Structure 1
C-alpha cells in the first residue's frame, strides 16, 4: 500500500464524521432559506451525506480485500510447506519400505 493510500486510510473516519456533522449543521441552517440558497445548501447536504456513507463503505471493502489476500497468502504458504515436508519425507518412506 502506498504512502498516499495509508494517509487516506487514516483520514477516512474523521472525514466521514466531519461530513456527517456538516450535513446536520446544514439541515439546521436550511430552515430559514429559500430559492437558490436552499437548493445549493440541500445539494451540498446530499453530497456530504454521500461522502459520509461512501467513505466507510470503501474502507470496509478495502479491509475485506486485504483480509482475503492475507488468507490466500497463508493458504499458499501452508501448501508449499506441505510439499516441502512431503519431498523431505519421501526418501525416508522409500528407506523404510
Structure 2
C-alpha cells in the first residue's frame, strides 16, 4: 500500500486504474497472511487457556521434580572451591531432545 500511494493511486475509490493491479494484488495477499497469523494467535491463546491445570509448570524453572532446590549449583564458580557443598549435589539425567 505504501508503494501504491507513492505511485499516485487515489484513495477510497472502488475502481482503480489498471496500472495498480500488481501492487494491489500484493497488498491483498499480504493482508491475507496477516489474517492467518492473527487466527493462529487466537488458536494458541484458546488452547492455552482451555488446557486447565493439567499442564502446570514446576515451581522453579530449573526443577526436575517438585521438591528440588534452587539454582545454587549454577551460581558458584567453576570448578567449585573446597567445602562449597555439605554434600555433593546429585546429577539428574533428563531426556535428550537432540537426535
TM-score (norm 1): 0.38
TM-score (norm 2): 0.37
Greater Rg by CA: 2
